[in-house]
């Protein structure tokens, strides 16, 4: 019964979004959104196309490739469920994190589902849904170089080298909380870990739970110096501006699957268990 009510609610949202977009006046929309307004809103375009195009970048366990080369992870589950409830197929578009917002704005995909935190600078370029998850910054460190470090202050020194994935909020967090440390930026998280494993850096700053998983993977070499993440960040869907109906639909969908308990169940599986690790190792 609940599933039927959920499906009915989602279909109503889709219908309202499509109707709302069809009645919009392109002349009153911002210049950047005129083309989309003329064609109909994003929801209408997705339904007509029959495919939801999802932009993302790989972050363990948000999204990654298994042994067969298929994409798996928390965000992948979220994207598949969203497409399923819209009654369309899903098309994944892996994209370098540093260029993911420009790719969205260029029309390469319809939505970013990639562990993106809400930030004022990003909100000036894209529209965010309400949060569907929360993350925070953690540190994983070299046992030999930083095994005795127990606080942020221990890492906030000119002789400390931090490896961080560029384009992520980890860079902003490091600049804010660890301004004295040296930052080395890389395109992939795997490169940041290699910097520490090779002894070229003291630690990696990244979104939880990536540091925790690396400490479990390399227990003889890596350690978690902090008991808890030192920031808290709301994670949301990002879409192009000038399409409030799409945001309204996404907000309603997030509320429904949250109340259903589905988001919590999938989060627990990917972030609190290691049942999936055999698929990638």
Contact 239, 250 (CB under 8 A): yes
116 and 144, same domain (yes or no): no
Q: Of 236, 199, 244, 237, which Cα lies nearest the Cα of 218?
A: 199
47 and 113, same domain (yes or no): yes
Share of residues in the chain with pLDDT > 70 (%) = 86
97 and 160, same domain (yes or no): no
CATH code for the domain in which residue 214 is found? 3.40.190.10
Q: Which residues pair with 59 in a beta bridge?
A: 63
163 and 219, same domain (yes or no): yes
194 and 241, same domain (yes or no): no
The pLDDT tens digits of the residues spanning 207-247 come to: 888 898 899 889 999 999 998 899 998 999 999 999 999 99
Distance of CA 247 to the CA centre of its chain: 16
19 half-sphere exposure, CB direction, 13 A CA radius: 6
115 and 169, same domain (yes or no): no
Q: What is the pLDDT of residue 261?
A: 97
Considering its fold, how many domains does the chain have in total? Answer: 2
Residues in the chain: 281
58 half-sphere exposure, CB direction, 13 A CA radius: 14
Could you say which of 223, 250, 269 is where a domain stops? 223
Could you say which of 223, 241, 258 is where a domain stops? 223
Q: What is the pLDDT of residue 34?
A: 39
The pLDDT tens digits of the residues spanning 102-150 come to: 999 999 999 999 999 999 999 999 999 999 999 899 999 999 999 899 9
Contact 88, 16 (CB under 8 A): no
- Predicted TM-score (pTM) of this structure: 0.72
Could you say which of 223, 254, 269 is where a domain stops? 223
- Per the structure block, which two tokens stand in for 28? 């009153």
14 and 109, same domain (yes or no): yes
- Per the structure block, which two tokens stand in for 149? 């470090």
33 confidence band (pLDDT: 50, 70, 90): very low
* Separation between Cα atoms, residue 24 and residue 190, nearest integer Å: 46
pLDDT at residue 88 tops 60: yes
Structural domain of residue 176, as residue ranges? 137-223
Q: Of 203, 213, 197, 199, which Cα lies nearest the Cα of 182?
A: 203
- Give the helix/strand (H/E) hosting 206: strand 203-207
pLDDT at residue 14 tops 80: no
44 and 152, same domain (yes or no): no
Q: What is the pLDDT of residue 7?
A: 52
166 and 102, same domain (yes or no): no
* Separation between Cα atoms, residue 32 and residue 241, nearest integer Å: 8
Q: What is the pLDDT of residue 280?
A: 87
What average pLDDT score do residues 47-71 get?
94
Contacts of 211 (CB under 8 A, 6+ apart): 138, 139, 140, 204, 224
73 and 117, same domain (yes or no): yes
46 and 80, same domain (yes or no): yes
Contacts of 111 (CB under 8 A, 6+ apart): 42, 52, 53, 54, 55, 104, 237, 238, 239, 250
60 confidence band (pLDDT: 50, 70, 90): confident
On whether residue 228 sits in a domain, the answer given is: no
Q: What is the pLDDT of residue 223?
A: 95
Q: Which residues pair with 63 in a beta bridge?
A: 59
Q: What is the pLDDT of residue 36?
A: 44
> Phi and psi dihedrals of 268, rounded to 5?
-60, -40
């Amino acid at each position: 019964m609940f599933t039927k009510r959920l499906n009915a609610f989602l279909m109503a949202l889709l219908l309202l979004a499509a109707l709302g977009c069809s009645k919009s006046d392109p002349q009153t929309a911002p210049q950047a959104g005129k083309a989309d307004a003329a064609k109909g809103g994003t929801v209408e375009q997705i339904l007509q196309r029959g495919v939801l195009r999802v932009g993302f970048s790989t972050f363990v366990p948000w999204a990654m490739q298994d042994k067969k080369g298929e994409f798996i992870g928390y965000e992948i589950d979220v994207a598949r469920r969203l497409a399923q409830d819209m009654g369309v197929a899903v098309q994944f578009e892996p994209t370098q994190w540093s260029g993911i917002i420009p790719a969205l704005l260029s029309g390469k995909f319809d939505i970013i589902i990639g562990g993106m935190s809400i930030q004022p600078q990003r909100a000036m370029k894209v529209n965010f849904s309400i949060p569907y998850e929360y993350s925070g910054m953690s540190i994983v460190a070299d046992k030999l170089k930083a095994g005795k470090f127990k606080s942020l202050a221990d890492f906030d020194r000119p002789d400390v080298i931090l490896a961080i994935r560029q384009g992520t909020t980890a860079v902003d967090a490091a600049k804010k909380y660890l301004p004295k440390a040296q930052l080395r930026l890389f395109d992939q998280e795997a490169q940041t870990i290699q910097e520490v494993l090779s002894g070229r850096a003291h630690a990696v700053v990244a979104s939880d739970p990536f540091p925790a998983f690396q400490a479990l993977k390399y227990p003889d070499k890596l350690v978690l110096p902090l008991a808890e993440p030192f920031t808290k960040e709301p994670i949301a869907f990002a879409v192009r501006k000038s399409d409030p109906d799409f945001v309204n639909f996404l907000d309603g969908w997030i509320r429904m699957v949250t109340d259903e308990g589905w988001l919590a169940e999938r989060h627990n599986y990917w972030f609190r268990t290691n049942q999936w690790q055999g698929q990638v190792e």
